[in-house]
Structure 1
Amino acid sequence: MTSPASTSSKKSSPLESSHRRVPTACTRCRKRRTKCSGTNPCRNCIQNASECIFQVEDIRKVTVLESFITSLKRRITELEEKVGKKQKGENGTQMPSQANPTEIKDGVRAPDTKQDAKCDDTRGLAKRDSTKFDIHLEASTSEAVYSAIFAIFSQSPSDPPSPVRSCSTDESLYNDVLLLVPSPGLAQLFASVTFHRFSDYVNNVFQFLNCGYLSLEPLALINQVASFCEFEGKWRYFAPDAFMAKCCMIVALGELYEPAYCVSPRNVRLEPPLVDKVPPGFAYFKQAVALLPAFIIEEDELGTQSVLVVEALTLAAIYLRVINKNIASSNFSLQALQMTINMNLHVAPLETSQEDRRLFWAAYSLNRTISLRVGQPLLLSAEEIATPMPSVNQAPSQKQELYKSEIHPCYIQLAIISEDICKTIYRRKCTTQANGVSSLPRFTLSMLNILSKLVRWADALPQNLKLDACLTSQGSYESHTELDRNRRFIYSLHANYCHCIFITTVPLLINLVQEQKQKGSKGSLDNPNVWKIIHMNFEACSISLRLYESLYRGKLITTYGFMDHDYLFSIGLGFIMGQLFDFSAYPVDISKYEFLKSLGKVFNILTNLLHNGNRIAHYKCMQLLDLIRLNPDIERESTKMAPVMVPAAVPVAIPPPVTVPIPHPNDFFLPFDDLLFAEPTVGMINDFYSTMSVDYYNLTEDDFVLFSDTFDMHV
């Protein structure tokens, strides 16, 4: 006897039967080998009240060259210009697509007219402020900020910034870097390295590098090397293993941070930069890079050398970041973090040793710092980490052990906040809520929430790591006195903190500058929350400059700093935007910032770096000069301060750096004056942090309503 189910199935139409024959079936129907309707949930699972699960096929990764994408964008721009000219010639009007291009250039997304109209319709009938947030920075890079400002004030917005000063060109300067120096071999390389010389290299590395990114113990490393050296101190260990790769990287970085490369107001050089010179320590770096692949590929033979390989990879990433090989540096840091994940250090239990914890968190912090600054993808979200942070040694045996006892956890917490910045500020898509109301005003509210996290981080710092405690403990000193190691550690920590504030708040400031430029009038902003964000940006730039002024006078800025030139460039961009923004309609006092004078201080330090051989500082200066020449007001004010006129603009297609005349900042700013480099005082620091207290940025529901009703953000 035939069941009703089978009878109904036989009487079903051929169309319905063919509809059930779908190539994609749920997991339950596949196992039972029954026909699946292909719907989610399918009919069989509905009848049996079972969970319907469809297996998702693995998405294959498709690699597209950036040059191909750039060529397509260039072709689209050319076609739009041709169509615009043709239509303008026919009816005398301009194309809407030409007036509001929707393309992405140099990491900046131009306004989308259709999306703006759509979002405006969903805002309701209430009257809103006409402020639009049209610029969305694709990455938290200083180059993206520079490109956005350049696009706003360029005479022809369709022309991109000079390609020779773009991030990709700076990156290509070292594309053939591995072909510059032949590798002579370990025995020949370490013929001139003695035990005492290696100890000096270790001290140089831990003098200038941020300790939150290193898991090495300098005393243990020096003692281990001592066992490999002869009685006279001559090196006698030349095995091609991971330990020698790490030693090569220590020597390479140690030569980069030699005291001879330190800059200060007293050793200003007037010679052009040695752009043809190979970076110091490059031969040792190339030897380390030649040794590392064998240990990375042969994972089964790593064993106890895994820790050494991770440490060598982190040091190599730092070296590549110093010579501005940004993408390669990010890849090396990603490889180091991936190896720690393969070792399951990210889910290590509580009984894990402190060395393993420091190894993982150092790789994590370094990857977040490098990847976030160059707009590279992140690996391993903070929510997936179950490893506790390294414990704090309350009584370190030596003063130098501060780097692993107290500063390291502070860098870890700052790296976690940096990940939130990347995901919230620079990975935000234009979405709408279920009721059709745009949710983009929450973007700026998220900005305030991140600032609140940063302020809480600063309030929770140990007392001896705060800037006011550092100043009172050190006391006053003469300008020729060198700062000690711990002070460099503390200043670097707070410079990183201020840079996080800058990259969090700069999208809002760029959009406000663009709004004033488009309206051509002195707009007004009644919302106090916006001024809080702008105020925090300028305060962060000011305090960062004060810190670098102090380090500059104390001879603790080296020519090849890890993040120094990037931080100084960001400070200069902040002061330029402060000069571009019209504050006359705001009830605020900005006279204390002295944007032009502060910009001159940034030029003084960057110029000293480039004259000592840092070609990246040369391009940073040229980019700042581009922005100054684009705005007549800044150029006019700078000429009032200078004994001579501003130098003529450099053509877009400039020759290689060897033949480019480098304008000195004294040509358009006041000459260097030691009085400008005042030491940050305790009162100034207290005022800075009092305005950045936690309560200052706690928002109520009324604040959110006011904020969401005032601004309409479009990304």
Structure 2
Amino acid sequence: MAGNGSRVTKRSLNACTRCRRQKIKCSGTQPCDGCNKRKLTCIFDDRDQKILVTRGYIDELHQKIASLQQTGERIDPVPLSPDYAEDRSPDLKDDSPQASRSSHHDPEGSQIHQELEDPASVLTNPLSTGPPAFMSADNGRTFYLGTSSSWSFTRRVLSLTHEHIYQEALPTGALIFDGATYDLGWDGLRKSHSSESPAVPTYDHAMYLINVVKFRCGQLYHLFDENEFMTNLHEFYSEPKPHTTTGLWYVHFLLILAFGKGFVKHKVQGNRPPGADYFVKALEMLPSVIVLHEEPIESTEVLCCVALYLQALDCRSSAHNYIGQAMRMAMAEGMHTQMPIEYLGENMVQRCRKIWWTVYILDREMTSLMGLPQTLNDEQINTLLPEFPDSIQRTSAIGMHIRLSRIIAEINGSVYAIDGRINRNFLLRTKSALATIASLADELRRAFPLHMERDISGVSRISAYLHLLYHQCIVLATRPLLFCFLKIRFESPENCVEVLNTSRTVRNLIQMSMDSSQQIICILHSLQTEGLLESFLSFDLESIFVSTVVLLIGPAIDMRWSYPIWLEKAYAIFEEIIESGNLIAKFRRSELHLLDELLSCFPQEHPRCLSTPVSFPNNVLTSQVPLTNSFPPSSQAGQALDHDILSDPGVGVMDGDCSFTNRLTAAQIMAVADSIESIDTEWMSNAMIEHSIW
């Protein structure tokens, strides 16, 4: 296996039973290094030792067997054991003495093999195996750290780094936890409807807020049916003096106003979120589930609004619960099926399709952000996409959004599967996930281009969002490798780069994570320039948080993965979101600064120095730097490990400039995915064993 560093030593000819069974390198010592680290009994079975004999010796044995058979002496054939049949030398035949001797049944040996195959001793993804991870806040509440959650990933990295440097657990006093950023000023109890209600805006102001919500959310999510909602709105304002009503529409109306305030109000008073008065009143008036089922269509829309608003406030658990209620209510109405138009009518069926796919997308994404298993099987869904006669592009956008959400679910269920192997299975699952991602690359670029030429058109918000989600899928699929090698860096700082250089495949996978993180920052910077950066909903904040964590960990593993200019851009985006009144961004940035400081404490060959956030020229995105220096032509996609699929990590994909005309193509991503073959199995196993990554 070619590499930039020293080659992995050959496997010992004398291997213990466990190493032979798992087909990993054995030191040959008694006990071997792998068993010693795992504190397992190390057994060497001489019967499984491979030997080399001459062809003449085998011919003589055949003659003796034939002679014995002629004399009538019975010879019982003994079947080969599966282990020996798999490991035997090709120079030995099945009827050789060595084969017969190694095939006798050994009850004690079988018990040993069964013990060695205990799932607890199998190499696993450190983010999704072993005892579940928890972290307690200062108030005593304990939070589960989900496997695929970006929030949980950062906490794990912070804990690992702090414990390595200070030899003690990470203090949680300075960290923010679920639902602790904002204060709604509400005890959660439902009061009588006669309690004071917030002042309703004028008709013109209400129309302005509703149109803002349509612009910010309308292309991504269906939150209300415009025809029915606006009819009720006109009726509401037709009264001489609009007043509080008890209907479900009024609750819906208050939620939309809460979103509108969140989008337009950038200054907050204390830690009370914008639109809180409307939101709290809506929850106080929200009927019980029993009553909601009497109006299931609008009730599902209302539950989606509640979930999305809570997600914006970093109340991830509550948001996940509300979207779960919406999912079950939608399924109870059969929205996941091909609802008959001739029976229900065109308008209702189209509305239900819009509702269903909004619920589906939010459920997939919120479940991933929580790091929890997906609960709905896609095979149970057969409804069609909604139709937008005046906008075919919108139908395509929903379809692409659904496909990306499914990729997220696939990654969560495979790469982050409980007790998923970190060696062969983990890499092959990563390969499968990347292949699925690659299948969308060219279509996404063609159907939803990101035009950077300012004299042609501005940046499309929906295109930007889909590309952000796409690159987050790549980061999500490759991020466990960052955690693994950060542990290796802490345990063997002098050998980390050498170990990493022995597998170009793994290095290329981490490089992909770095490149996608840079692309995320580049897209967000373009939105920032156009004034389209989203500061209330959490999805842009999640994107910048995910990418910055990756770029902070990279140089801790290998200094050639140091991209200070991209970190500068990331922090500038954080500043923009913070100045727009988002308190969550302030806490997220403080966590990143803490991680940056902790990683900087670890000895580096060239310490990183970050200056204060800076502004960048408006034409920073117009420079076209092709990716050909980093990726081979598509004709080389079939080549695996005989060359570097990605460039030297010291040369960034764009080195500070953004280029969208030459992004990762399907062939380029598949080139990396196809390089994941069985040749990497032993390397990954050795690296994980030698550095106790379980």
Q: Shorter-normalised TM-score: what interval?
A: 0.5 to 0.7
In structure 2, the partner of 1:570 is: 546
1:256 equivalent in alignment to 2:256: no
1:226 equivalent in alignment to 2:221: no
The CA deviation at 1:623 is: 0.9
In structure 2, the partner of 1:498 is: 471
In structure 1, the partner of 2:492 is: 519
In structure 1, the partner of 2:211 is: 203
The CA deviation at 1:531 is: 2.8
Instruction: Give me the whole-angstrom Cα distance separating, in 1, the residues matched to 2:431 and 2:41.
Output: 23
In structure 1, the partner of 2:640 is: none
Instruction: Give me the whole-angstrom Cα distance separating, in 2, the residues matched to 1:120 and 1:144.
Output: 36
Q: 1:447 aligns with which of 400, 416, 430?
A: 430
Deviations 1:142-166 (A, max 9, x none): 2222223223332456533331344
In structure 1, the partner of 2:664 is: 689
The CA deviation at 1:504 is: 1.5
Q: 1:379 aligns with which of 375, 379, 383?
A: 375
The CA deviation at 1:178 is: 2.3
In structure 1, the partner of 2:273 is: 279
Asked whether the equivalents of residues 292 and 309 of structure 1 are also in contact (C-alpha less than 8 Å), the reply is no
In structure 2, the partner of 1:397 is: 390
The CA deviation at 1:139 is: 2.0
1:212 equivalent in alignment to 2:220: yes
Task: Write the letter of the residue equivalent to 2:172.
Answer: P
Task: Write the letter of the residue equivalent to 2:186.
Answer: L
Task: Write the letter of the residue equivalent to 1:489.
Answer: I
RMSD of aligned residue pairs (Cα, Å): 3.8
The CA deviation at 1:318 is: 0.8
Asked whether the equivalents of residues 310 and 339 of structure 1 are also in contact (C-alpha less than 8 Å), the reply is yes
Q: 1:338 aligns with which of 328, 332, 339?
A: 328
Asked whether the equivalents of residues 139 and 375 of structure 1 are also in contact (C-alpha less than 8 Å), the reply is yes
Kindly report which structure 2 residues correspond to 1:123-162, keeping only aligned pairs within 5 A, or say none: 135-137=126-128, 138-154=146-162, 155-156=164-165, 159-162=168-171
Asked whether the equivalents of residues 317 and 333 of structure 1 are also in contact (C-alpha less than 8 Å), the reply is yes
Instruction: Give me the whole-angstrom Cα distance separating, in 1, the residues matched to 2:210 and 2:615.
Output: 34
In structure 2, the partner of 1:289 is: 283
Deviations 1:11-31 (A, max 9, x none): xxxxxxxxxxxxxxxxxxxxx
Asked whether the equivalents of residues 210 and 492 of structure 1 are also in contact (C-alpha less than 8 Å), the reply is no
Asked whether the equivalents of residues 368 and 378 of structure 1 are also in contact (C-alpha less than 8 Å), the reply is yes
Asked whether the equivalents of residues 471 and 517 of structure 2 are also in contact (C-alpha less than 8 Å), the reply is yes
Instruction: Give me the whole-angstrom Cα distance separating, in 2, the residues matched to 1:193 and 1:114.
Output: 71
The CA deviation at 1:511 is: 0.7
Instruction: Give me the whole-angstrom Cα distance separating, in 2, the residues matched to 1:194 and 1:528.
Output: 63
Instruction: Give me the whole-angstrom Cα distance separating, in 1, the residues matched to 2:416 and 2:538.
Output: 23
Instruction: Give me the whole-angstrom Cα distance separating, in 1, the residues matched to 2:487 and 2:683.
Output: 17
Task: Write the letter of the residue equivalent to 2:664.
Answer: Y
The CA deviation at 1:117 is: 6.0
Asked whether the equivalents of residues 202 and 254 of structure 1 are also in contact (C-alpha less than 8 Å), the reply is yes
Instruction: Give me the whole-angstrom Cα distance separating, in 2, the residues matched to 1:194 and 1:243.
Output: 17
Task: Write the letter of the residue equivalent to 2:127.
Answer: H
Q: 1:546 aligns with which of 522, 528, 543?
A: 522
Asked whether the equivalents of residues 220 and 462 of structure 2 are also in contact (C-alpha less than 8 Å), the reply is no
Kindly report which structure 2 residues correspond to 1:550-561, keeping only aligned pairs within 5 A, or say none: 550-561=526-537
Distance 1:549 1:677, change over 3 A: farther
Instruction: Give me the whole-angstrom Cα distance separating, in 2, the residues matched to 1:243 and 1:115.
Output: 63
In structure 1, the partner of 2:513 is: 537
Deviations 1:298-319 (A, max 9, x none): 36xx44x211111111111111
Asked whether the equivalents of residues 152 and 517 of structure 1 are also in contact (C-alpha less than 8 Å), the reply is no
Distance 1:550 1:429, change over 3 A: same
Asked whether the equivalents of residues 447 and 504 of structure 1 are also in contact (C-alpha less than 8 Å), the reply is yes
The CA deviation at 1:536 is: 1.7
Deviations 1:33-62 (A, max 9, x none): xxxxxxxxxxxxxxxxxxxxxxxxxxxxxx
Task: Write the letter of the residue equivalent to 1:496.
Answer: L
Asked whether the equivalents of residues 191 and 235 of structure 1 are also in contact (C-alpha less than 8 Å), the reply is no
Distance 1:696 1:191, change over 3 A: same
The CA deviation at 1:608 is: 3.3
Instruction: Give me the whole-angstrom Cα distance separating, in 1, the residues matched to 2:623 and 2:467.
Output: 13
Instruction: Give the TM-score, by structure 2 length.
Output: 0.67
1:325 equivalent in alignment to 2:349: no
| Runs of 5+ consecutive residues of structure 1 not aligned to the other structure | 1-111, 262-272, 432-438, 478-482, 585-589, 643-667
Instruction: Give the TM-score, by structure 1 length.
Output: 0.65
SS of the aligned residue for 1:213 comes to coil
Deviations 1:653-698 (A, max 9, x none): xxxxxxxxxxxxxxx3353333695357595224322376454245
Kindly report which structure 2 residues correspond to 1:656-695, keeping only aligned pairs within 5 A, or say none: 668-669=611-612, 671-674=614-617, 677-679=620-622, 684-690=659-665, 693=668, 695=670
The CA deviation at 1:397 is: 2.4
SS of the aligned residue for 2:524 comes to helix
Instruction: Give me the whole-angstrom Cα distance separating, in 2, the residues matched to 1:669 and 1:639.
Output: 16
Deviations 1:351-405 (A, max 9, x none): 47222122112101101111211224533222322x2331454xx426xx854x2
| Runs of 5+ consecutive residues of structure 2 not aligned to the other structure | 1-33, 45-82, 89-121, 129-145, 627-658
The CA deviation at 1:133 is: 6.5
Distance 1:639 1:235, change over 3 A: farther
Distance 1:132 1:370, change over 3 A: same
In structure 1, the partner of 2:637 is: none
The CA deviation at 1:215 is: 5.1
The CA deviation at 1:599 is: 1.0
In structure 1, the partner of 2:360 is: 364
Distance 1:120 1:249, change over 3 A: farther
SS of the aligned residue for 1:685 comes to coil
Distance 1:344 1:391, change over 3 A: closer
Instruction: Give me the whole-angstrom Cα distance separating, in 1, the residues matched to 2:588 and 2:319.
Output: 19
Q: 1:618 aligns with which of 561, 565, 586?
A: 586
Distance 1:213 1:498, change over 3 A: same
Asked whether the equivalents of residues 572 and 599 of structure 1 are also in contact (C-alpha less than 8 Å), the reply is yes
Kindly report which structure 2 residues correspond to 1:93-172, keeping only aligned pairs within 5 A, or say none: 116=38, 135-137=126-128, 138-154=146-162, 155-156=164-165, 159-166=168-175, 169-172=177-180
Distance 1:615 1:502, change over 3 A: same
Instruction: Give me the whole-angstrom Cα distance separating, in 2, the residues matched to 1:630 and 1:397.
Output: 53
Identity of aligned residues (%): 17
Instruction: Give me the whole-angstrom Cα distance separating, in 1, the residues matched to 2:42 and 2:303.
Output: 50
Asked whether the equivalents of residues 434 and 673 of structure 2 are also in contact (C-alpha less than 8 Å), the reply is no
Instruction: Give me the whole-angstrom Cα distance separating, in 1, the residues matched to 2:567 and 2:199.
Output: 46
The CA deviation at 1:705 is: 1.7
Deviations 1:406-454 (A, max 9, x none): 21111111111111111112233157xxxxxxx8421121012111111
Task: Write the letter of the residue equivalent to 1:577.
Answer: I
Task: Write the letter of the residue equivalent to 1:532.
Answer: N
1:509 equivalent in alignment to 2:515: no
Task: Write the letter of the residue equivalent to 1:143.
Answer: W
Instruction: Give me the whole-angstrom Cα distance separating, in 2, the residues matched to 1:119 and 1:627.
Output: 39
In structure 2, the partner of 1:242 is: 248
Task: Write the letter of the residue equivalent to 1:450.
Answer: A
Asked whether the equivalents of residues 181 and 283 of structure 1 are also in contact (C-alpha less than 8 Å), the reply is no
1:699 equivalent in alignment to 2:674: yes
Instruction: Give me the whole-angstrom Cα distance separating, in 1, the residues matched to 2:614 and 2:466.
Output: 30
The CA deviation at 1:114 is: 8.6
Distance 1:402 1:240, change over 3 A: farther
Deviations 1:590-649 (A, max 9, x none): 6xxx6212112211221333344322112111111111111337999999856xxxxxxx
Instruction: Give me the whole-angstrom Cα distance separating, in 1, the residues matched to 2:304 and 2:42.
Output: 48
Distance 1:256 1:221, change over 3 A: same
